[in-house]
Amino acid sequence: MQGKIIKGIAGFYYVDVPALGVYECKAKGIFRKDNIKPLVGDDVRIEITDPKDCEGNIIEILPRRSALIRPAVANIDQALLIFAVAKPEPNFNLLDRFLIMMRRQGLDCILCFNKTDFADRAACDRISEIYAGSGCSILLTSAVTGEGIGELKEALAAKTTAVAGPSGVGKSSIVNCLQEKIQMETGAISKKIDRGKHTTRHSELIAISDGTYIMDTPGFSSLSLFDMTKEELRDCYPEFAPYEAECRFLTCSHIHEPDCGVRNALEANIIHRIRYDNYTAFYKELDSAERTAVKYTGKRGNRR
Ligand SMILES: Nc1nc2c(ncn2[C@@H]2O[C@H](COP(=O)(O)OP(=O)(O)OP(=O)(O)O)[C@@H](O)[C@H]2O)c(=O)[nH]1
Ligand SMILES: [Mg+2]
Ligand SMILES: [Zn+2]
């Protein structure tokens, strides 16, 4: 029998089998041996151990179309990255790390700035302008006023989308706006530190309509760059591409070389300063990770 993992809690996986319902399953040791863990979104084969109580075992994980590490989910078509325009203030460094991760995996990303009811139009536009050249579609939403929810529904249609973003930005609130069947728990953000309280603890796959699924996920607060070299970083910045032909050197890192097309575009305010500054910070981070790796292993790179 075949189904889809819609939730995983404390070693149990909840597998939705079309027309039959949800089975509470364990994963047999076989997966541990192969070092793969079932993920929410996985298509699996199960054997039923107790038909009355809807219990079973996962016996096979079918090949994945895609997999993410943060959040840990499988078989998604795209990610919906949510940050708030305020309360909490957007962390662009974390945002850019996520975009790099998505680009490295060849997955599309919708960038959503939520809580527009907390900021004026000009402030919202200033934030979305930073990402105008990032290759993402950008939405401004409010789970309170309903702004942008219609547009968001259109962007999700006929796809499986994982929601991602830090705690307290309104991921679960947005998921609740998109459908009525399952209402996820939401939590007020801490007034003192202006941060979310990690209300959502487990990823959950929810059907919005036939063929359209959304995954609510726990918030994350850090993301490390891995499995990449500093030279690969510039390919994660679509806004650099039109200006790289103007660099004097083919291998230009856009940091210190003379006659750099990217830095000229930065000075001309065509490439956004925040995006460029994060680029240089990540470049240095990857460079020092590579140096540390060489020192301890004699090999280049920062593999996990
Ligand atoms: N004013 C306003 N408040 C919002 C909006 N969206 C969410 N909130 C509030 O922000 C708080 C956090 O929302 P959640 O939906 O729990 O946030 P989350 O991203 O799921 O957080 P975690 O589950 O902790 O990762 C709640 O008090 C929501 O009511 C919005 O658009 N406007
Ligand atoms: Mg949540
Ligand atoms: Zn350059």
Question: What tens digit of pLDDT does each residue of 23-43 get?
Answer: 999 998 767 667 788 999 999
CA 218/CA 199 separation, integer angstroms: 8
According to the model, what pLDDT value does residue 30 have? 66
- Write out the two tokens for 60: 């096979």
Closest C-alpha residue for ligand 1 atom 14? 170
Q: Answer with the residue of higher pLDDT: 243 or 209.
A: 243
Measuring CA to CA, which residue among 12, 16, 11 is closest to residue 2?
A: 16
What is the mean predicted confidence (pLDDT) over 212-232? 94
Q: What is the mean pLDDT of residues 220-235?
A: 93
Q: Rounded CA gap, 194 and 100, in Å?
A: 26
Is the separation of the CB atoms in 238 and 275 below 8 Å?
no
- From CA 73, how far away is CA 37, in angstroms rounded? 11
Asked if 67 and 104 touch (Cβ cutoff 8 Å), the reply is: no
Residue 242 CA to ligand 3 center (angstroms) comes to: 11
Listed in sequence order, the residues at least 6 apart from 53 whose beta carbon sits closer than 8 Å to its beta carbon are 24
The finding on whether 128 has its CB within 6 A of some atom of ligand 1 is: no
Res 206: pLDDT: 96
pLDDT of residue 295: 78
Nearest residue CA, atom 12 of ligand 1?
Answer: 168
Q: 293: CA distance to ligand 1 center in Å?
A: 40
Cα–Cα distance for residue pair 9/204, rounded to 1 Å = 10
Residue 161 scores a pLDDT above 80: yes
How many whole angstroms from 7 Cα to the centroid of ligand 2?
Answer: 14
pTM listed for this prediction? 0.94
Domains of the chain: 2-63 (2.40.50.140), 68-216 (3.40.50.300), 230-297 (1.10.40.50)
Q: Is the pLDDT of residue 131 over 70?
A: yes
Using the mean position of ligand 3's atoms as its centre, give its distance from the Cα of residue 277 in Å. Answer: 14
Q: Whose CA is nearest to atom 13 of ligand 1?
A: 170
Kindly identify the ligand whose nearest atom is closest to the C-alpha of 244.
Answer: 3
Alpha-carbon span 120 to 184, nearest angstrom: 28
Rounded to the nearest integer, the mean pLDDT of the chain is: 94
Looking at all shown ligands, the one closest to residue 191's CA atom is 1
The predicted pLDDT at position 303 comes to 57
| Contact in structure between 165 and 88 (CB atoms under 8 Å) | no
> What is the rounded distance in angstroms from the CA atom of residue 148 to the CA atom of residue 124?
13
CA distance 108 to 183: 26
Indicate whether residue 169 lines ligand 1 (CB < 6 A). yes
